[in-house]
Chains A and B, each alone.
Chain A
Amino acid sequence: QVQLVQSGAEVKKPGASVKVSCKASGYTFTSYGISWVRQAPGQGLEWMGWISAYNGNTNYAQKLQGRVTMTTDTSTSTAYMELRSLRSDDTAVYYCARGHDKSAFDIWGQGTMVTVSS
């Protein structure tokens, strides 16, 4: 079946980086984009950006420009999201979702908890 499986929970110190993976299966990876969405504890959803699995084009949320990089590995049908210079307010569940910047997100990963704490 179509699914996205994400990597496990991470605990990082302020200033560090984190890289979350999202492995796709059950569909042609390069036919869709992957978007990333995060959710701080008890808060709503925040769109982070999108990457085309076809050509690697990206679009990032303005507030994360310069700190976030999204990549894909088409040989393993895996998308990655790296966030640098972590702060306490980056503590959140990070989701990947199938969809591009002009579409709805029809398949979601299970989420990856990233905790930033000294």
Chain B
Amino acid sequence: EIVLTQSPDFQSVTPKEKVTITCRASQSIGSSLHWYQQKPDQSPKLLIKYASQSISGVPSRFSGSGSGTDFTLTINSLEAEDAAAYYCHQSSSLGGFGQGTKVEIK
């Protein structure tokens, strides 16, 4: 079973600040890593697929990078509406999610 570990678990950030969330896989998963945003009482929303591919309609301040075991989600110039939980998800072997990172706006 592939385990995904995100860091940090929680981040308090001021608007316009840059946010970096990392996701580490317990074994190599190539580029089979996707990122989601979930706001309170809403369904998750796909932000980035296959590590770095952008999704239509998602603001360009969201970007992803990495391959193998180490991946990063970057939010450039954080906006108030970005307050949410962020999850990584691997589709290399069955499925699995990281434990989530909650981003709070100061």
Contacts and interface: CB of A to CB of B under 8 A. Distances in A.
Interface in B30-50: 32, 34, 36, 38, 43-46, 49-50
Interface of B: 1, 32, 34, 36, 38, 43-46, 49-50, 55, 85, 87, 89, 91-92, 94-100
Given A45-B97, A46-B97, A101-B94, A62 B89 contact: no
A61 B43 contact: no
B43 A108 contact: yes
B95 A35 contact: yes
Given A45-B44, A110-B43, A101 B87 contact: no
Given A44-B99, A105-B89, A59 B46 contact: no
Nearest to A46: B97
Contact of B96 (A47, A103, A104, A111): A47
A106 B95 contact: no
A110 B49 CA distance: 21
B95 A104 contact: no
Contacts of B50: 104
Contacts of A95: 43-44
Contacts of B38: 45
A61 B55 CA distance: 27
Interface string A22-66: 000000000000010100000011110110000000010110000
Given A46-B97, A47-B95, A47-B96, A104 B44 contact: no
Q: Which 7 pairs between the two chains have the least Cβ-Cβ distance?
A: A47-B95, A104-B49, A104-B34, A108-B43, A45-B97, A44-B100, A44-B99
